[in-house]
Structure 1
Amino acid sequence: MTRGRFLIWLVLAVLAFPISCNRRPAGPEPPQVVQSKRANSAETMTGRVVRIADGDTVTILDATNTQHRIRLQGIDAPESHQAFGTQSKKNLSDMIFDKDVTAVYDKMDQYGRLVGKILLEGRDINLEQVKAGMAWHYKEYEREQSPEDRELYARAEDEARSARRGLWVAANPIEPGEFRRD
């Protein structure tokens, strides 16, 4: 190989190296979810509720026929095999199954679910679950809620407890976190 050809190949190799380093792997990009807790960083999605897993987890089918699992923020509903688990799931299903909703979310949980608020015609469905006595206000994560939501959810739980609605008919209902540990 002549010296001229060698230099041309060397220059081409040097120029091609940065380009090859910037290539992304083929295939779909992973979903990007904003991890910030600021209200103005929230993203929204609209879609039809196609599955109710339990009293605080649903699946939404968006306009592109993509399914998204949503964990309802700020609440903790009884587990499916726990007292009031079936009633909590049914209550949520009666409100939103096969209906078009808006999800407002700003993070993803450890199970790959988006965590957010479900709105049906402007109504906060997460809050409705607490008001009906079908879920606790999830105080462990209340810092992720707006101050207004924290107050609304806490008041809704107190009112449901006082009125002995839903799971509050029991003297001392067991919170799902405690139930899972037992």
Structure 2
Amino acid sequence: MFQKLKSYKRLSLVLLISFVFGCTQTEPDLLKVVKIKDGDTIVVLTKDNQMVTVRLAEIDCPEKSQAFGQAAKQFTSDLCFGKGVKLQGNEHDRYGRTIALVILENGTNVNYELVKNGYAWQYSQYSKNNAMLAGYQQQAQQQRLGLWRDTNPTPPWEFRKGERELKQTNNENTHMPRKHRSRKRKSRRDTIITGFDLQ
């Protein structure tokens, strides 16, 4: 009897440890969203207190200086600022940002929500064959949500291209050599005021 009781205690202890260990192992590593840079770029804090800049994959929000740029940033903030998220994807862009889908603890895909609500385009150059995302964009267009209230919204990649071209043109204009004109220098005699000139 004592032996059976002892083995039940051991079994209970092993099950309890397995349960606790199993729960911590299956829990996803959530990262806290600590900053919203713009609609499609956030900063997360890892468990070891490292800040990681994340560019939301497959979508492109209006730039902050574009129409609906600030609204997109606010939408992203309302959706995930201060919350725990997990990232799907670990590629990096040329700026060193992590490119990922951002998933809230409840399973909400932040990237897709932005497109669904008309605050982002599907970034077709980097989102090939994603029929679901294309469908969300088409639905937002039909319902005239967010940026689709404008009759002809400018995609951010075209806006950025225009900004780069304008900057390049301005740089070329400021670096153009000045034409040196030959100026006739006044002689010192011409600039001396005599008493007769004062009248």
| Shared fold, TM over 0.5 | yes
Structure 2 residue runs of 5 or longer lacking an equivalent are 1-27, 163-199
TM-score (norm 1): 0.71
Give the strand-richer structure, 1 or 2.
1
The CA distance in 2 between the partners of 1:106 and 1:119, in whole Å, is 14
1:106: how far off?
A: 2.9
Total equivalences in the alignment: 134
Counterpart for residue 138 of structure 2 = 158
Task: For structure 1, list consecutive stretches of 5 or more residues without a partner in the other structure.
Answer: 1-43
Matched, 1:102 2:82: no
Tell me what 2:123 maps to: 138
Residues 1:174 and 2:154 are matched in the alignment: yes
Give the alignment's Cα RMSD to 1 decimal.
1.2
Alpha-carbon distance in 1 for matches of 2:114, 2:60: 9
1:127 to 80, 90, 112: 112
Greater fraction helix: 2
Distance in structure 1 (CA, Å) of the matches to 2:132 and 2:77:
22
For 1:151 and 1:46, how far apart are their aligned partners in 2? 28
Matched-pair contact (CA < 8 Å) for 1:45–1:103: no
SS at match of 1:130: helix
1:53/1:73 Cα in 2 relative to 1: closer, same or farther (>3 Å)? Answer: same
- The Cα of 1:152 is off from its aligned counterpart by 1.1
The aligned residue for residue 54 of structure 2 is 70
The percentage of aligned residue pairs carrying the same residue is 39
**Cα separation, partners in 2 of 1:62 and 1:53, compared to 1, 3 Å:** same
Deviations, residues 81-138 of structure 1 (Å, cap 9, x unaligned): 1100000000000000000111111310011000000001211110000001000000
AA at the equivalent of 1:138: Y
Bigger radius of gyration? 2
Paired residue for 1:48, among 32, 35, 40? 32
